[in-house]
Structures are given as structure tokens and as C-alpha cells.
Amino acid sequence: MEQRKEPYINEEEAAAAGFDMKAHAQYTGRLDWSDSAGPLLAWAGSSITVRFQGSSANMRLAAVERIDTWVDVTVDGGEPRKYYIDESGHALNIATGLGDGSHTLVIRKRTEAMFGTVRFLGIELPEGGLFLEPPPRKARRIELIGDSISAGSGNEGKDGDPNIAEHENNGKAYGTLAAEALDAELHTTAVSGIGLIVNYGDERVNTMTAQYERLNALHAEPKWDFAEWTADVVVINLGTNDSKYELDRAQFVSAYEAFVARIRSYYPEAHIFMTLGPFRSSPVKEYISEAYDRIHAAGDAKVHHFLFDEANRERDGMGETGHPTVITHALMAGQLTQQIKHKLGW
């Protein structure tokens, strides 16, 4: 996609519009506010929502660490347009020729941290433009904890192609689609290649049990402050990468129990869904079922268990490097939506 990198709006006009980083935007996700220049977005699905009056708008984002980040921008609920974010911080025109009245734009990070992090530097409006109060936050909150499947890796590509950032679209990943169907806010805590106790490549360090509390997936410190946001529902889809390697059943089950206990300590009232899919590899699915049985038997009535339907490769195709397609993600979203509705009555 050709991108306009020179501003349609000069800096004097932008200053006159008076964008306030905190007051004029709503942020979703684990964002790092340690730099006064603007928040850092690392996790896939992190988003920024801005309401305004004006005939056009520019956004400014800059790649900070690694340089293969893509975002989607929607204006007034229209079709998303994707933009590659470079290191320049140049203004990118994201809306023009808008009519009178209020408009809402949403910037969503398509790609996960391994492809790059970006700093949000603000929105620019033309002369006479006005920033409005952001929309109210959604009342329902879901956290999805997973691997590349949950991030949306390769879901817009095709099997046989290498995994490239442009074809990872978290906006069409099952968690995002389910959250939209449930009118819920979503945090996606997903890292490609990660496992509960064994990562892809038979790596047994820096698994999700070590990374879960990170503010930025690329760095062990600082940690995310769980007081900032409390989930009503937590969905855990881990085990696909673990299943590729030799596992000790007792160790896996014990680690899963301990991980759920940690999540429960952060979200005492949340409903926690233990799941796996859409590739339900044995024996991990049996290990997860055993962990669920033990947790439930210990008295946690807000823990639930189900398996996603097996991906139909012949019917729905495969994405890059053996990942599910957007078709499979849509089917998974429907299943997850029904599970949450059934258990919570949403």
C-alpha cells in the first residue's frame, strides 16, 4: 500500500488542534508510558481510539525496536486500512474528505512484539478541528493468553510461504473477533513459539510461565501493573508448542495448576477458560483436562474447560507456516463466543 508520509496538515495547525495524549485518546492493552514522548505499543491488538470533528486526520507513529510493525486504522467503523510503520515518525494521512459531525478512528496493532514496537506520537487535525472526549470504555473485559495462533500469525498468508509480518492480522484473530461479538475489551497476551513449559525449538526457558507478567514481551522488565486493568474472563490457549516435544505429565499438569493459581491471584473473580486448539495434539489435551479436573475438584467453580474444533485443512486451508487461516479463526471465534455466553450469560 502506498502511504503518504508528508503531512497534509502543517505543524502549526496541528498544535492549534491541541491533541492531549492522555485526555483525547482511549488506550487498550499493556502500554508502556515511561517516555513522555508517548506510549509504547508492543503487544498485538493494542489499540488507540480517538474521537474528533474535522475533515481529515493524520497519525504519527514511530518504530522503536525492530522495524516490521503494521497497524490497521478504521474510521467511523469502516473497512480497516493497513499501514507499515517506519522509524521516521512522519505524519501519515489516515482520513480525508470527512463530513461534518463527529468521527471515530481506531488504530490497532496488527503485529506482535517480535516484529517490532511502536511509539504513538499523536493525532493531527486541520485548522478548526476539534478533539472530543473518547468513547466510554466497554464494561466487559477479556484477556487471551496464548501463542502465535492467538496472535494471528500468518492468518492472511498461505501454506508454504514464510511467516511475514504483513500477513499477521490480529484484527482477524479469533480472540479479537470473539471480543467484538461479545462487546468486550480485549488484552491479547500472546507470543509466537511460546509454550506453557516448553517453547518451539525445545526451549525450556522464557516460557509463558516466565513471561506472563511482562509489560513488553521483548523485555523481562518492567512488569505490567495488574491494578490498571482487571479481566472478567481469561482464556488460556497454550500447549500447542509444548506438544511437539517430550513432556513429563506430572510437571506439565503441576505447572498448569500453578499458572492458573497465579492468574487467579490477579483476577480473583474472573472466569478462566482452559482450552487448546485448533490443533488438539495428544497427549497435551489430556494433560490440560487433568489439570482442569484437579483445579475444579479443589473448589474453583469459575474455571472451565473446552477444546476448539480441529482445523479442517482441506476445507479451510492453512496460513503461513502451518497456522490457521482467517476462516478457521472465524470458526474458533464463534465457538469461544458461545462458550463464554453459556457460562457467563453475556
Q: What is the pLDDT of residue 17?
A: 55
Q: What is the pLDDT of residue 3?
A: 41
Residues of the chain under the 50 pLDDT cut? 1-16
Residues for the chain: how many in total? 346
Domains in the chain, please, with CATH? 11-132 (2.60.120.260), 140-344 (3.40.50.1110)
DSSP line for 5-72: -S-SS-HHHHHHHT--TTTS-EEES--B--STT--EE-STT-EEEEEEESS-EEEEEEEEESS-EEEE
Q: How many CB atoms lie within 10 A of CB 271?
A: 19
Give the cell for residue 265.
491471584
List Cβ neighbours of 54 (8 Å cut-off, separation of 6 or more).
Answer: 17, 98, 103, 125, 126, 128, 129, 130
DSSP line for 225-258: -GGG---SEEEEE--TTGGGS---HHHHHHHHHH
Distance from C-alpha of 315 to C-alpha of 112, rounded to nearest angstrom? 28
pLDDT digits (tens, 9 = 90+) for 66-81: 889 999 999 999 999 9
Pair 140, 181: CB distance under 8 Å: no
Residue of 308, 312, 318, 277 whose CA lies nearest to 154: 318
Q: What is the pLDDT of residue 18?
A: 86
Mean of the per-residue pLDDT values for the chain?
Answer: 94
> Global pTM?
0.94
pLDDT digits (tens, 9 = 90+) for 87-134: 999 999 999 999 999 999 999 999 999 999 999 999 999 999 999 999
List Cβ neighbours of 250 (8 Å cut-off, separation of 6 or more).
Answer: none
pLDDT digits (tens, 9 = 90+) for 185-199: 999 999 999 999 999
Q: Which DSSP letter does residue 114 get?
A: G
**Residue 326: HSE in the Cβ half-sphere, 13 Å Cα cutoff:** 10
The DSSP element (H or E) to which 150 belongs, if any, is: helix 148-151
Q: What is the pLDDT of residue 9?
A: 41
